[in-house]
Structure formats: structure tokens, C-alpha cells
Amino acid sequence: MVSGKMVLHPLLMGAAGVQMGTRFVLSKECTAHQKFKEAFIRAQA
């Protein structure tokens, strides 16, 4: 899910929602371990 259109399409097909995981992993609300977040920052791909 990288755009509004990608989110909208499943909703128009009847989905109750979509799951967005890595999009928010670095937010302060995310309870992931700090080392996990740091690995995301260092990632190259």
C-alpha cells in the first residue's frame, strides 16, 4: 500500500480495511523494540 489508490481499490471491492505495517514502524506509537526500528533505518532495500 503505497498510494491512496492502492488503499481505495480493496475498499471498493468490499474489504473492511487494509493492513499497513511497515508504513508506521518508526512512529513513536509503535511498540516495536528500538533495535528493530534502528534496523529499519539502516536498511538499504
* Tens-digit pLDDT profile for residues 1-45: 778 899 999 999 999 998 887 878 899 999 999 999 999 999 987
Question: How high is the pLDDT of residue 42?
Answer: 93
pLDDT of residue 45: 74
User: Cα 14 to the chain's mean position, in Å?
Assistant: 21
pLDDT of residue 38: 94
Sorted by where each begins, the domain ranges of the chain are: 4-42
The pLDDT score that the predictor gives to residue 8 is: 95
For residue 37, the SS3 value is helix
What is the pTM assigned to this prediction? 0.53
Terminal-residue alpha carbon distance, the chain: 16
